[in-house]
A = this chain, B = another copy of it.
């Protein structure tokens, strides 16, 4: 539990409404969720920006999890990134009600000197140009992965392609894989993402699980089935955090470790959606991770066919 993870991403205040409740200006953001998830398994160094409206107890919650906040810049008089969204009955996707970038609009990630040699790096969903800036600042990383979104695929494609040519793994949802490659067939589309540079692509499919694809083949897991999904916000980021946190924990990036990391990401995402903000992740300890991981193994285990007659 000593190899650290660097995470660069948004730190936000979210106002979320789902059929199961409502929270106003609770701690959120891709950088936050992924850091808090990774923090279960590895020390995290977080780079982001907040206004001085960001609650001190939220920062204390992150620090208590082992998240180093030297890289989090507070802008005096500034407003923290605020997102407001609502999920309907089926929880499939959020309807964004309001986005106020605040200080995040001028985010320019500057890595403290002590962060530059962090071995495991996750570039959460931010402007690809900023992801490139982070890649320029880090030295000899062992493993880098990036997230992105439809907005950048459409609007900052050239920069995004540069990012993809420089990271070890891309994390995309199924729609983004199709949009990026212009290819409806997911198997073909994932291979085309590999052509852009990364050794691995993880295709996130929401409630249908996730698939890790490399030149050598694929590895798929269902999502961890839960009757009590309260708030899907942060699921993908928690998945990412669990994934890279596990790699750092093991300090390995071979195929076997990648598969295990996908399972850990799946477990962290499942914990996230069981409650609002960071409350779901807070309820999962390492024992719980082990239990759900073993549950997942049982959910995909099947024996070989009888010998040919």
Contacts and interface: CB of A to CB of B under 8 A. Distances in A.
Interface of A: 1, 89-91, 178, 184-188, 191, 205, 207-209, 211, 217-222, 225-227, 229, 250, 256, 259-260, 262-263, 286, 289-290, 293-295, 297-306, 308-309
B185 A229 contact: yes
B188 A227 contact: yes
A155 to B, nearest CB: 23
A271 to B, nearest CB: 15
Contacts of A1: 309
A233 to B, nearest CB: 16
User: A184, A191, A221, A294 — which one has the most chain B CB atoms within 10 A of its CB?
Assistant: A184
A299 B225 contact: no
A197 B3 CA distance: 51
A222 B220 contact: yes
A288 to B, nearest CB: 12
B220 A186 contact: no
Given A211-B222, A220-B222, A305-B260, A185 B299 contact: no
Contacts of A225: 186-187, 218
A301 to B, nearest CB: 8
User: A217, A262, A295, A300 — which one has the most chain B CB atoms within 10 A of its CB?
Assistant: A300
A184 B90 CA distance: 5
A136 B91 CA distance: 41
A49 to B, nearest CB: 35
A250 B211 CA distance: 31
Given A184-B90, A207-B186, A217 B293 contact: no
Contacts of A294: 304
A263 B302 contact: yes
